[in-house]
Amino acid sequence: MTTAPIQLDTYKLGFIGAGKMAESIARGVVQSGVLHPSRISTAHSNPLRRSAFESFGVKVFSQNQQVVEDSDVVIFSVKPQVVKDVVLQLQPLLSKKKLLVSVAAGVKLKDLQTWAGSERFVRVMPNTPAAVGEAATVLFFLCTLFFHCACFCLVMSLGGAATEADGELISKLFGSVGKIWKADEKLFDAITGLSGSGPAYVYIAIEALADGGVAAGLPRELALGLASQTVLGAASMVCQSGKHPGQLKDEVASPGGTTIAGIHELEKDGFRGLLMNAVVAAAKRSREFSN
């Protein structure tokens, strides 16, 4: 049985869960011109949340059922703790003509598909750690990130009946809020160890670079400003230049210069290995949670 493709020019998008995550994605989609706001809807009773969405042209219903009936693509953006109940409740309306998406941290495709009675599901994993307790804090903090810059890490995994075209549609939607990759769901623990927990390693690195600057004589404020901007610039170079980081390093380390002197300090004491250890340990802890 062939899955009916979603019509790209006319499909309607609905958000079940009108929180900060949904707002970030909706704003990104509208701002980038991917969809006109009239093609987007959500539901909420709270007037503050209603006006947050209505302010940029999104339709706000009173009930989730109305959102599902109106939409071809449905994004479940409720908290992980409630997604099961919400999906079960809407299950009668979730026909195979609809493409279903979940951004709930830690909730597996297998379960989503069972609750929905449909395998046309795509799971999008933002970089949040597996521990549920962290999800709310991190989601909020990540949403602040959405508002400031579209430099978010997202990985998506296709369910049993989601087509390649479905994947491309989701890529385009989420591409407006950050970078998105496709991966097998079984890589989730490794992804958590790297991009889920990674930001913390970078915060530590920035603080240490600033401390190094202060040790070398800089006032704290200047040291911290330079440290964070330097890390931002270097990462931008890797993301935008298309060059291997090793090549970029070679290009800036001139013979007998200051840069290679700094690099030598890092290499001789196994700096690279410490970062590998961190990613591997975090991935291992994530696997322990899954079991």
The verdict on 25 binding a second copy (CB under 8 A) reads no
Output the smallest distance, CB 288 to a second copy, in A: 9
Report if residue 275 touches a second copy, rule: CB under 8 A: yes
Element (H, E) at 156: strand 152-158
> Which residue reads 């209505």 in tokens?
54
Give the start-end residues of each E strand in 64-126. 73-76, 99-102, 121-126
- Provide the token pair at 185: 């769901």
Does 255 bind a second copy (CB under 8 A)? Our answer is no
Q: Strand locations in 98-143, DSSP E?
A: 99-102, 121-126
CB-based burial of residue 111 (10 Å sphere; 0-12 exposed, 13-18 middle, 19+ buried)?
middle
Q: How far is the CB of 186 from a second copy (least distance, A)?
A: 8
**Residues numbered 169-198 forming contacts with a second copy, rule: CB under 8 A:** 178-179, 181, 183, 187, 189-198
| Binds a second copy by CB under 8 A, chosen from 4, 8, 88, 208 | 208
Measured CA angle at 111 (ends 71, 285), to 5 deg: 120
Shortest gap between Cβ of 268 and a second copy (angstroms)? Answer: 9
Kindly state whether residue 81 participates in binding a second copy, applying the rule CB under 8 A: no
Question: Is residue 277 part of an annotated ligand binding site?
Answer: no
Q: Would you say 21 is a known binding-site residue?
A: yes
- Considering only 155, 158, 170, 177, the residue that binds a second copy (CB under 8 A) is 155
- Measured in whole angstroms, the distance separating CA 152 from the mean position of its chain's CA atoms is 5
Q: Does 161 contact a second copy by CB under 8 A?
A: no
Q: Tell me, what amino acid is at 130?
A: A
Q: How crowded is residue 264: how many other Cβ atoms within 10 Å of its Cβ?
A: 11
Which one, of 230, 108, 223, 110, lies nearest residue 160 by Cα?
A: 110
Q: Give the Cα separation of 291 and 270 in Å (integer).
A: 32
To the question of whether residue 64 is assigned a binding role by annotation, the answer is yes
Applying CB under 8 A, among 167, 253, 255, 291 the residue interacting with a second copy is 253
Task: Give the nearer residue to a second copy in terms of CB position, either 55 or 277.
Answer: 277
Q: How far apart (Å, rounded) are the C-alpha atoms in residues 53 and 22? A: 9
Contact range with a second copy by CB under 8 A, out of 31-39, 74-82, 159-167, 269-277: 269-277
From 10-18, 112-120, 165-173, 227-235, span contacting a second copy (CB under 8 A): 227-235
**Is 17 known as a binding-site position?**
yes
Phi, psi at residue 113, to the nearest 5°? Answer: -65, -40
Q: Taking the complex as a whole, how short is the minimal distance between the CB of residue 223 and a second copy, in angstroms?
A: 7
For residue 216, the 8-state DSSP code is T
Interacting positions 118-147 with a second copy (CB under 8 A): 127, 129-131, 133-134, 137-138, 141, 144-145
**33 is known to lie in a ligand binding site:** no
Indicate whether 278 belongs to the interface with a second copy (CB under 8 A). Answer: yes
Binding-site residues: 16-21, 64
Binding-site residues for NADP(+): 16-21
Binding-site residues for NADPH: 64
